Amino acid sequence: MVSPSNLIDRGPSLAEVVARRLSEDIAAGRLKPGEKLPTEQQIAETFGVSRPIVREAVGRLKHDGLVVSRQGAGAFVAESGQASVFRLQVADFTDRDEIHGIIELLMAVESGATELAAMRRTDEDLAMIQTQLDAMQTSIDRGDPGVDEDVAFHRAIVEATKNPFFRDLSDFLDRRVRAFIRAARSNTARRQGSLTRSVQEEHQAIFDAIRDKDAPRARLAAETHLRNAADRLAVYQLS
């Protein structure tokens, strides 16, 4: 079985290396907002690569909004505030402090979202959340960890915020963080039964608070859920 971790690491492409170097120069203040970058030819000579590689590297930074270019004039570090990306740099998911830190962030975003959902949910929203809650129960009764159902449950909640920014950030964090938590749970076949039932009880508490339009209780339920998720992660990692 070939898994990603068994593959020989070929390292980043030249374009990626150059992009990182330039990005570091910008982050370190060696290239200031508004400042002109060296020409493509100069960068190529500086790094000993060809011009298309430089074009690709600079293109990556343009995609991030860190750099803007004008044909004939040059490429410039974008003014502060133009960057359109937030990068979540996690070395791996084995450092407990790192995991704890990122779960704190998830907690802030998700508890805020759950609070808004409690304030704003419509009957349709509530029905959708109920549907996903029931689907997860069905999955648990079948002996499955309910991964897809867990995703859908949280997604239904964040849709009830009626705020696309919460939805997008929550999706992103879901993909990066919750997915890790769920994978850990799924990989722990022996204990998943009782632990997944805890998860469902916490989901139920979240649902109840949203149903009752009780925003503070919803916030607290979401925080409790994630606090417990962090604790459960410790259990998964011990097994």
Partner DNA sequence: TATCACCAAGTTGCCTGACAAGTTGATTGT
Partner DNA sequence: ACAATCAACTTGTCAGGCAACTTGGTGATA
First to last CA, the chain: 23
Q: Is 61 a residue that touches DNA (CB under 7 A)?
A: no
SS3 of 187-223: CCCCCHHHHHHHHHHHHHHHHHHHHCCCHHHHHHHHH
Task: Report CA Rg, the chain.
Answer: 23
Q: What is the smallest separation between the CB atom of 93 and DNA, expressed in angstroms?
A: 25
Binding site residues, a second copy, CB under 8 A: 10, 13, 15-16, 19, 52, 55-56, 59-60, 62-64, 71, 80-81, 83-89, 101-102, 104-105, 107-109, 111-113, 116, 163-166, 168-169, 172-173, 175-176, 179-180
Q: By CB under 7 A, is residue 46 in contact with DNA?
A: no
Question: Which of a second copy, DNA, none sits in contact with 168, Cβ below 5 to 8 A by type?
Answer: a second copy
Phi, psi of 82 (to 5 degrees): -85, -25
Binding DNA by CB under 7 A: which of 22, 40, 113, 140?
A: 40
60 binds DNA (CB under 7 A): no
Supply the minimum distance, in Å, between the C-beta of residue 117 and a second copy: 12
Q: How far apart are CB 179 and a second copy at their closest, in Å?
A: 4
Applying CB under 7 A, the span of 43-51, 86-94, 104-112, 179-187 interacting with DNA comes to 43-51
Closest approach of a second copy to the CB of residue 105, in Å: 4
Q: Please tell me the distance from the alpha carbon of residue 109 to that of residue 78, in angstroms, as a whole number.
A: 28
- Angle, CA 125 vertex, CA 120 and CA 127 arms, to 5°: 140
Structure tokens at 235: 């259990």
Q: What secondary structure letter does DSSP report for 39?
A: P
Q: Is 91 in the site for DNA (CB under 7 A)?
A: no
Piece of the chain touching DNA by CB under 7 A; list 23-31, 38-46, 130-138, 213-221: 38-46
Q: Which two tokens stand for residue 151?
A: 């995703």
Q: Is 83 exposed, middle or buried (0-12, 13-18, 19+ CB in 10 A)?
A: middle
Binding footprint of DNA on the chain (CB under 7 A): 10, 13-15, 37, 39-41, 48-53, 55, 58, 69-75
